[in-house]
Amino acid sequence: MGWQKKILRVNLTEGTCISEPLDMGWANEYLGQRGLATKYLVEEVDPKVDPLSPENKLIFATGPLTGTPASTGARYSVITKGALTGAIACSNSGGYFGAELKFAGWDMIIFEGCAEKPVYLYINDDQAELLPADDLWGKSVWETDEILHRVHQDPQLRISAIGRAGEKGVLYACIVNDLHRAAGRSGVGAVMGSKNLKAVAVRGTKGVRVADPERFLKVVAEKKQVLAENAVTGQGLPAYGTQVLMNVINELGALPTRNARDVQFEGASRISGEAMHEPRGSEQKPNLVTNQACFGCTIACGRISRIDKGHYTVVNRPEYWGASGGLEYENAWSLGADCGVEDLDALTWANFVCNEQGLDPISFGATLAAAMELYETGVITDEDTGGIALKFGSAEALTSMVQQVANGEGFGRELALGSRRLCEKYGHPELSMTVKGQEFPAYDPRGIQGMGLTYATSNRGACHLRSYTVSSEVLGIPEKTDPLVTDGKPALVKAFQDVTATVDASGLCLFSTFAWSLEDIQPQIDAACEGDWSLDRLLEMGERIWNLERQFNIAAGFTGKDDRLPKRLVSEPVKSGPAKGLVNQLDKMLPEYYQLRGWDEGGVPREETLERLGL
């Protein structure tokens, strides 16, 4: 068990909701969530389809540990062909929605086709129906959440929705659940919007069972203790969230600043996790109100923040006076350091709007940073921006542009294309800090070499959550490696990629791996699921998932030539900090990585590799 062994297939064109048994043969090969949903996508979708066409499918998938007391067992993922990248997209989210879907008796929802008019899916245990969403179209995520709770007279509904950004086809629109948790990257919200699907509202009362409850509860209790006793998961993350990293990465000279022209930001300490604790503004209260856990999580790294009532972004706007999802490290970086902005409340407000309207703050911030560089070099002018000076450091530029993108107005329509398309349009593709069309996050690969290979080879475009070598290169988990050298990094990246795929497939959160190794996770999976889930089997499965995603991308038209970093990262030496004078040495790592993966020189998996993995 662990699985509910049931999937919901929703045909939006036909307006049907049909229950199907979960393919347990595939579940045994791919476990759940990211792995299993990828298998369904690969089997059912032509990799060459237009991501925004009815032929693309959109899968909401839980893992076997989602909705169980295994700590961090909150996660669900949205799997589709990404609107931003054209590559496989798998965006992972926490909150409570994933567990609720499981409690309603479903492992997965597969959306296919396209609704003629806006609809939302309402699930009450076994009952599932598509309902008209004409009145919801044009509403924000927050308004949609409120209306659906009211309409169904059920305060315990859990809701996942797109905002105006997803409706308007912003290419990095995300899907937001529980008001401020997001399946954030690759434009999964744009795919949802293209299908005229506004929201999924779920209420589940059936619960989740595991194969061996007694053994499961015993091992789960033991492993929670490991999280509690670990310095990162027991202290650092609850106190500062992922924002614990801002000052650390800045010191290390790996904080991409002003579109990665610099690697250290003079305002870093003012937008850091520590700063969120400091009393400030007219009220002399800290930005941070409290930390919050996702379902079942004993780490509780989430930030709940409030904007000072005297701040210009919220004067006379009481709708933004309450507490809501605050700055995580990636968002504080993209909206802050990458745009050169050091106004903590302005960043918090821009982040609120990203949640409210369903925008990926990483891609939005990095796209704005590219536009700022184009503006400062005179390529983009006031005529283009409607008179708004897109200068690095301008909080006003940040807060006006986030609204314009969300509302599909003015220069926001250009920013909605994402950094790659924007920079190509203005004739400077080299200024786009992207891989496979996706903006890279908050670690400069010139100061943390392994992250260069991570970005270059990530199956969903540049991303830190596919092989977070920062763990090893900065934090020393599981063991310390030198961030400035490339030796050993190909093997490190491969190992992290495979383990991460397994963790994602289980329904647990990757952050658990600051304290847990796969040896800690394996017995939890083994007790929850039928069958013998050995360490070797799980490791091989991670590798299988990775190769299956790679095959999808190759069939979609990607080649080894797409495993490349932006020119700046491999040709412009950094100007300050410990990595001064360095570029990322991707060329030294990539061939060895291909070899370790059992791929040919062009990055294509060899026959014997596929055979070994049963692909």
Partner 1 sequence: MYRSLSIDPDKCTGCLQCEMACSYEYEGVFNPAHSRIKVFTFHQEGRFVPYTCTQCADAWCQHACPVDAIRVDAETGAKEIKENLCVGCKVCTIACPFGTVNYNHDRGKVLKCDLCGGDPACARACPTQAITYVDGDWAGYEKMRAWAARTDNATHA
Q: Which of 9, 198, 306, 489 binds partner 1 (CB under 8 A)?
A: 306
Site for partner 1 in 50-79 (CB under 8 A): 67-69, 71
CB of 99 to partner 1, least distance (A): 8
How deeply is 127 buried, as exposed, middle or buried, from its count of CB atoms within 10 A (0-12, 13-18, 19+)? exposed
Specify the residue, 127 or 290, whose C-beta has the smaller distance to partner 1.
Answer: 290
Q: Does 603 bind partner 1 (CB under 8 A)?
A: no
Q: Which listed range, 192-200, 205-213, 346-354, 449-457, lies at the site for partner 1 (CB under 8 A)?
A: 205-213
Q: Does 293 bind partner 1 (CB under 8 A)?
A: yes
- x/- binding map, residues 225-264, to partner 1, per CB under 8 A? ---x---------x--------------------------
With tokens 């293209």, the residue in question is: 194
CB 409 within 8 A of CB 423: no
When binding is defined by CB under 8 A, the residue of 279, 310, 322, 478 that contacts partner 1 is 322
- Specify the residue, 221 or 596, whose C-beta has the smaller distance to partner 1: 221
Render the burial of 240-259: b for 16+ CB within 10 Å, e for the rest.
bbbbbbbbbbbebbbbbbbb
- What are the angstrom distances between the C-alpha of 380 and each of 374, 386, 416? 5, 11, 15
Pairing, β 197-203 against β 119-124: parallel
**Angle (CA) 49 52 55, round 5°:** 45
Under 8 Å between Cβ of 78 and 93: yes
Residue 401 in the binding site for partner 1 (CB under 8 A): no
d(CA 287, CA 272): 11
- Cα distances (angstroms) measured from residue 106 to each of 32, 123, 131, 293, 461: 12, 10, 19, 23, 29
188 binds partner 1 per the rule CB under 8 A: no
Residue among 122 and 392 whose Cβ is closer to partner 1: 122
Identify which of residues 67 and 447 has a Cβ nearer to partner 1 in the complex.
67
- Going by the DSSP 8-state scheme, the letter that residue 47 receives in this structure is T
204 lies in the site for partner 1, by CB under 8 A: yes
Residues 84 to 113: which contact partner 1 by CB under 8 A? 96, 103
| Complex with partner 1: residue 311 or 464, whichever CB lies closer | 311
> Candidates 52-60, 84-92, 319-327, 448-456 — which segment interacts with partner 1 by CB under 8 A?
319-327
Q: Which of 152, 215, 224, 309 binds partner 1 (CB under 8 A)?
A: 224
Nearer to partner 1, 204 or 452 (CB): 204
The neighbour count for residue 129, using CB atoms within 10 Å, is: 14
Identity of the residue, 27 or 210, whose beta carbon is nearer to partner 1 in the bound complex: 210
Q: Is 121 helix (H, G, I), strand (E, B) or coil?
A: strand
In the sheet with 288-292, reading across from the earlier edge strand, the strands are 288-292, 302-305, 324-325
Nearest-approach distance from CB 164 to partner 1, in angstroms = 21
294, 366, 370, 509: which one binds partner 1 (CB under 8 A): 294
Q: Verify cis geometry, omega within 30 degrees of 0, for the bond prior to 21.
A: no
Minimum distance between the CB of residue 290 and partner 1, rounded to whole angstroms? 5
If one asks whether residue 208 binds partner 1 (CB under 8 A), the answer comes out as yes
Q: Which is nearer to partner 1, 103 or 240 (CB)?
A: 103
Rounded to the nearest whole angstrom, what is the least distance from the CB of residue 209 to partner 1 in the complex? 6
Which residue, 304 or 570, is less far from partner 1 as judged by CB?
Answer: 304
Question: Which residue(s) pair with 109 in the sheet?
Answer: 8, 60
Burial of 564 (0-12, 13-18, 19+ CB in 10 A): middle
Quick check: 369 and 287 in contact, CB under 8 A?
A: no
Residues with Cβ within 8 Å of residue 196, at least 6 apart in sequence? 12, 114, 115, 116, 117, 118, 119, 133
Cβ contacts of 316 within 8 Å, gap of 6 or more: none
Give whichever of 290 and 559 is closer to partner 1, judged by the CB atom: 290
Nearer to partner 1, 238 or 361 (CB): 238
Look at residue 210 and give its three-state secondary structure: coil
Among residues 42, 49, 147, 304, which is the contact residue for partner 1, using CB under 8 A? 304
Instruction: By CB under 8 A, tell whether 348 contacts partner 1.
Output: no
Q: Which is nearer to partner 1, 16 or 291 (CB)?
A: 291
**Residue in this structure with the two tokens 């434009």, named with its chain if needed:** 187
Nearest-10 Cα torsion for 574, 577, 581, 582: -70
Closest distance between partner 1 and the C-beta of residue 213, in Å? 7
The single residue among 136, 244, 297, 314 that binds partner 1, judged by CB under 8 A, is 297
Residue 177 main-chain phi, psi, to 5 deg: -120, 155
- In angstroms, the Cα distances linking 137 to 113, 118, 312, 376, 392 are 19, 7, 29, 37, 34
Count of CB atoms situated within 10 Å of the CB of 475: 17
Span from 49-57, 290-298, 450-458, 572-580 in contact with partner 1 (CB under 8 A): 290-298
CA 502 to CA 60: how far, in whole Å? 17
* 323 binding partner 1? (CB under 8 A): yes
- Transcribe 483-546 into DSSP letters: TT--TTHHHHHHHHHHHHHHHHHHT--GGGGGT--HHHHHHHHHHHSSS---HHHHHHHHHHHH
CB of 322 to partner 1, least distance (A): 3
Judged by CB under 8 A, does residue 206 bind partner 1?
yes
Q: Report in angstroms how near the CB of residue 341 gets to partner 1 at its nearest.
A: 24
Q: Does 387 bind partner 1 (CB under 8 A)?
A: no
286 makes contact with partner 1 (CB under 8 A): no
Residue from 113, 273, 296, 365 binding partner 1 (CB under 8 A): 296
Closest to partner 1 by CB, 71 vs 92, is 71
The pattern of x and - marking residues 139 through 168 that bind partner 1 according to CB under 8 A reads -----------------x------------
Q: What residues make contact with partner 1 under the rule CB under 8 A? A: 67-69, 71, 96, 103, 156, 179, 204-210, 213, 217, 224, 228, 238, 289-298, 300, 304, 306, 322-324
